């Protein structure tokens, strides 16, 4: 495994110390610390970390504002940390891999860290040249092959991902981030941390006041697209 670059962004010295203590279990790390949102944003650009432990409430910029201004999540794996559980659901509108509620135990930290490392290794090692043309889906004792051309939408549903066609829905266990790497980017676009849509299935795009979007699909379904993917969405609506 390559040397992982870790950025700890938290205005509380004790919180940073705890993360540093937990990270002693892991080898081959390059770790930097930040105590405010503005310096965190700078380090995202200059240090280019693999994993960021990002506090939600910080001086100058909040953790959410850092993500908003970092242009499509420069860091491949962001783990939010906060003492306030009301930020949990809004956080997942962004490209956030995990969420640690303070005070979090060593075991919970280890689970999040392992998930981040697995994600980073997948991103670093993916070498897709042939994109999927069909996806096998198990139904009882049978396996059905779903043509990529027939798929309108991939949407996370708990620990599963729904494959939605014009008239059917199927469940698979492949994570959304892995699917994204296996699909032709000229035909499919990730528009939310939980959603990949076939671009030809989009009928219209509506901007919302908070920066998000509503995508109306040709099958009549509407889906929410996150502002985190605004650059991709702009390309979809440009003539």
The parts of the chain modelled with pLDDT lower than 70 are: 1, 71-75, 85-95, 126-129, 236-239
Two structure tokens written together for 207: 């901007």
User: What SS3 state is found at 237?
Assistant: helix
Q: Domain ranges for the chain, please list them.
A: 4-125, 134-237
- What pLDDT does 121 receive? 83
Instruction: Note the pLDDT of residue 89.
Output: 54
Give the residue from 12, 62, 7, 70 showing the smallest Cα distance to 37: 62
- 4-125 placed in CATH 3.40.50.2300: yes
DSSP three-state, residue 216: strand
Give the rounded distance of the alpha carbon of 229 from its chain centre.
10
Sign, CA torsion 193/70/8/13: negative
Question: What is the reported pLDDT for 86?
Answer: 64
Q: Architecture of 134-237 per CATH? A: Beta Barrel (2.40)
- What pTM was estimated for this model as a whole? 0.64
Q: How far is CA 12 from the centre of its chain?
A: 26
pLDDT, position 113: 95
């Amino acid at each position: 495994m390559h040397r992982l670059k870790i950025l700890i962004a938290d205005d509380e010295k004790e919180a940073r110390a705890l993360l540093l203590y937990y990270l002693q279990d892991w080898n081959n790390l390059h770790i930097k610390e930040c105590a405010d949102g503005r310096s965190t944003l700078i380090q995202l650009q200059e240090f280019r970390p693999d994993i960021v432990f990002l506090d939600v409430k910080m001086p100058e910029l909040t953790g959410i504002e850092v993500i908003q201004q970092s242009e499509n999540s420069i860091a491949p794996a962001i783990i939010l940390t906060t003492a306030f559980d009301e930020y949990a659901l809004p956080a997942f509108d962004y490209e956030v891999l995990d969420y640690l509620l303070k005070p979090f135990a060593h075991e919970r930290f280890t689970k999040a860290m392992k998930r981040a490392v697995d994600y980073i290794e997948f991103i670093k090692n993916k070498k897709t040249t042939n994109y999927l043309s069909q996806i096998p889906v198990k139904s009882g004792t049978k396996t059905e092959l779903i043509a990529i051309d027939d798929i309108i939408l991939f949407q996370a549903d708990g620990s599963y991902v729904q494959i939605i066609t014009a008239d059917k829905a199927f469940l698979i266990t492949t994570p959304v981030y892995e699917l994204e790497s296996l699909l032709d980017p000229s035909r499919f676009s990730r528009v939310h941390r939980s959603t990949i849509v076939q671009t030809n299935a989009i009928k219209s795009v509506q901007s919302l006041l908070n920066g998000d979007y509503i995508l109306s699909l040709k099958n009549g379904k509407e889906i929410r697209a996150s502002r985190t993917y605004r650059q991709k969405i702009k390309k979809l609506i440009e003539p």
